[in-house]
């Protein structure tokens, strides 16, 4: 499409960070250009919500171009993208990083798990608690109002539980939590004996319709146009009817996706232009070191184009934003933009996770009923802070537990691998065994916090380039003993919990916890690489996510994370993006940008 000569703000990326920034800026009247590397995507018409896996090729199983399954909401991208490689410095599997990239409008918001837990006060000041990593330059109190705004905008269901470091939302913000299933209730009952709590998880899913009459005025006071646009957008969203997997996306707009929540109202303002299939190569700067725009490659024509903006916001995904900064070299910035501290690309993090599955005889033969729901309804929060303070645990950070039970939609693998239970049968007995054991398996996963370490970082590969001749990222990765010991604790706890439920496991907990850990990047929670701080010598951005070197260049995605809590990062990314956008608007108003 044709673009204007210049914009107030140019945003790179259209996912959680880019979508939120575009929404906040355009609703306030800023003229914005959004550049997305993938194709246009409309969940309302492209989401296959109501087809069974039996109607899909290979019964919905993953393939190289659809690694998370045929119906996964990713329409472009994955672990591997033709012509867009990345490399690893080590050949050892446990020192390699897996990098998932979406190439579609809305990015990874089209298929994420929609777990929407707030970071707590401890999570913003980890160094002050245990002397590891670094503190954020902001506190929970600085971001709490933006959590409120994001939750009201996108719709989050859950409950207030009064947990030590998983903050409650103010009254009236959260939508009602869906009910727990039979297996989840059994887990809660037996978990009490081990000192474990099972509580409703917060999810970006509409359990009821949003209040379109009052929320718009709360989010946009003194802005009638924004209120009108948001109210209409909210009325177009339906409540969930608990039928299909949220990872498919949602054609009725019951769950949060940038493509159904952020972008429609932003476009309705008339202040947003959108360019898709556009691969950004670099941020351009003038002789004074001020960002002037970005250069991108039109992926359909391979032509190089440039656009200009008063402010540049990188929201391409943490590592993609780092790559753009590395490749934005000039006479003024020989090592790339934002790298005067030498910390660009450093201290990248992902979620360390480990799992254990058990079979629970008490869950065999239950009456048939709908157990699809909205994915995960409840979870086990981390509550062992006292034990850590008193030195009873040999690792510093925690994990929460997500788990699955019941009869979920059958897949290509449903019913396989049950020989350890049945002894191996066929014919009529095989069918009876399938009916007996289907729904009696429980899978527990520890979703933990990684302590940033100097061995986990990315830089530019000195040789390899993408199909447009742009240098690609090279990853260096290592889990530390902190994460390995954390995983060992989770394995033991899962075994104890399964036993308390009267169940059994196929294999005992991993004797080598390092083998139980997922690979770096596998959970798709990568953050860091351009961390924020209060000192330009030890950070890449200031507390407002603005690069120290270039005052009109901001990073709105997870690259600025100084630590990665055991909570999924997307809600915090959006809250930070809203906060950064408010700051940009105020600085534009003052004439400082």
User: For position 369, what pLDDT does the model report?
Assistant: 77
How far from 571 is each of 266, 405, 477, 539, 575, CA to CA, in Å?
A: 19, 25, 25, 23, 6
| pLDDT at residue number 4 | 84
Q: What is the mean pLDDT of the chain?
A: 95
- The secondary element (H helix, E strand) that includes residue 311 is strand 303-314
Average pLDDT in the 379-404 region? 96
Q: What percent of the chain has pLDDT over 90?
A: 84
pLDDT of residue 407: 84
For the whole model, what pTM was predicted? 0.97
CB atoms within 10 A of CB 492: 14
Tell me how far apart the alpha carbons of residues 253 and 260 are, in angstroms, rounded to a whole number: 6
Q: What is the mean pLDDT of residues 103-115?
A: 95
Of 311, 266, 316, 319, nearest to 296 (Cα)?
316
Is residue 197 pLDDT above 80, yes or no? yes
Strand (E) or helix (H) holding 457: strand 457-465
**Does residue 235 surpass a pLDDT of 70?**
yes
Chain segment 237-260, per-residue pLDDT in tens = 999 998 888 888 999 999 999 999
User: How much is the pLDDT for 505?
Assistant: 95
Q: What is the average per-residue pLDDT within 86-96? A: 96
DSSP state of 259: I
Q: What digits encode the pLDDT tens for the residues 140-192?
A: 999 999 999 999 999 999 999 999 999 999 999 999 999 999 999 999 999 99
Three-class secondary structure of residue 291 per DSSP: strand
Structure token pair of residue 469: 């001749």
Distance CA(446)–CA(293), nearest Å, equals 42
Contact 131, 176 (CB under 8 A): no
CA angle (328, 332, 335) in 5-degree steps: 50
| pLDDT tens, position by position, 442-494 | 999 999 999 999 999 999 999 999 999 999 999 999 999 999 999 999 999 99
> Domain 178-201+353-448+480-516 adopts which CATH fold?
Cholesterol Oxidase; domain 2 (3.30.410)
Question: What's the DSSP call for residue 444?
Answer: E
Confidence (pLDDT) at 146: 98
Q: Could you give phi then psi for residue 403, rounded to 5 degrees?
A: -150, 155
pLDDT for the residue numbered 372: 80
Question: Tell me: the pLDDT tens digits for 483-510?
Answer: 999 999 999 999 999 999 999 998 889 8
**Domain regions of the chain by residue span:** 178-201+353-448+480-516
Per-residue pLDDT tens over the stretch 47-88: 888 888 888 888 888 888 888 888 889 888 999 999 999 999
| Per-residue pLDDT band at 415 (split at 50, 70, 90) | confident
Q: How confident is the model at residue 360 (pLDDT cuts 50, 70, 90)?
A: very high
- The per-residue pLDDT for 1 is 67
pLDDT at 2 over 80: no
- pLDDT score of 37: 98
Q: What is the pLDDT of residue 420?
A: 87
């Amino acid at each position: 499409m044709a673009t204007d000569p210049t914009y107030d703000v140019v945003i790179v990326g259209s996912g959680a960070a880019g979508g939120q920034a575009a929404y906040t800026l355009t609703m306030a009247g800023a003229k914005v250009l959004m550049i997305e590397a993938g194709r246009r995507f409309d969940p309302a018409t492209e989401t296959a919500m109501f087809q069974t896996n039996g109607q899909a090729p290979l019964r919905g199983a993953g393939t190289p171009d659809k690694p998370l399954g045929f119906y996964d909401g990713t329409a472009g991208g994955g672990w591997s993208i033709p012509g867009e490689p990345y490399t690893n410095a080590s050949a050892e599997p446990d020192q390699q990083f897996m990098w998932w990239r979406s190439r579609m409008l809305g990015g990874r918001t089209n298929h994420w798990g929609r777990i929407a837990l707030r970071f707590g006060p401890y999570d913003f000041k980890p160094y002050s608690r245990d002397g590891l990593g670094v503190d954020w330059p902001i506190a929970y109190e600085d971001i709490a109002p933006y959590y409120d705004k994001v939750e009201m905008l996108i719709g989050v269901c859950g409950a207030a539980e009064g947990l030590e470091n998983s903050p409650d939302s103010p009254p009236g913000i959260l939508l009602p939590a869906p009910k727990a299933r039979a297996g989840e209730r059994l887990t809660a009952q037996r978990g009490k004996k081990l000192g474990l709590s099972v509580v409703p998880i917060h999810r970006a899913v509409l359990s009821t319709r949003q209040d379109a009459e009052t929320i718009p005025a709360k989010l946009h006071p003194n802005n009638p146009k924004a209120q009108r646009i948001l109210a209409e957008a909210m009325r177009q969203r339906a409540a969930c009817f608990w039928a299909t997997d949220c990872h498919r996306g949602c054609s009725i707009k019951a769950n949060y996706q940038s493509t159904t929540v952020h972008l429609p109202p932003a476009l309705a303002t008339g202040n947003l232009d959108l360019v898709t299939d556009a691969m950004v190569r670099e941020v351009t700067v003038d002789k004074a070191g001020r960002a002037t725009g970005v250069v991108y490659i039109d992926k359909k024509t391979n032509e190089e184009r440039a656009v200009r903006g008063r402010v540049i916001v990188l929201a391409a995904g943490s590592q993609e934003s780092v790559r753009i900064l590395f490749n934005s070299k000039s006479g003024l910035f020989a090592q790339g933009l934002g790298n005067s501290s030498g910390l660009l690309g450093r201290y990248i993090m992902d979620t360390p996770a480990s799992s254990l599955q058990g079979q629970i005889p008490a869950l065999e033969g239950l009456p048939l009923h709908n157990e699809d729901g909205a994915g995960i309804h409840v979870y086990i929060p981390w509550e062992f802070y006292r034990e850590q303070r008193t030195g009873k645990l040999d690792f510093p950070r925690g994990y929460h537990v997500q788990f699955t039970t019941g009869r979920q939609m059958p897949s290509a693998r449903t019913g396989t691998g049950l020989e350890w239970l049945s002894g191996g049968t066929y014919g009529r007995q095989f069918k009876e065994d399938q009916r007996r054991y289907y729904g009696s398996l429980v899978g527990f996963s520890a979703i933990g916090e990684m302590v940033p370490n100097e061995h986990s970082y990315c830089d530019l590969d000195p040789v390899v380039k993408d199909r447009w001749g742009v240098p690609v990222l090279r990853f260096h990765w290592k889990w530390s003993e902190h994460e390995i010991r954390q995983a060992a604790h989770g394995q033991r706890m899962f075994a104890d919990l399964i036993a308390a439920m009267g169940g059994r496991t196929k294999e005992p907990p991993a004797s080598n916890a390092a083998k139980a850990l997922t690979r770096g990047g596998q959970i798709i929670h990568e953050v860091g690489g351009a961390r924020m701080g209060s000192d330009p010598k030890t950070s890449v951005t200031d507390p407002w996510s603005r690069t120290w070197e270039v005052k009109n260049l901001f990073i709105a995605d997870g690259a600025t994370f100084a630590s990665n809590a055991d909570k999924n990062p997307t809600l915090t990314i959006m809250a930070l993006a809203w906060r950064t956008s408010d700051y940009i608007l105020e600085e534009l108003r003052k004439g400082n940008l």
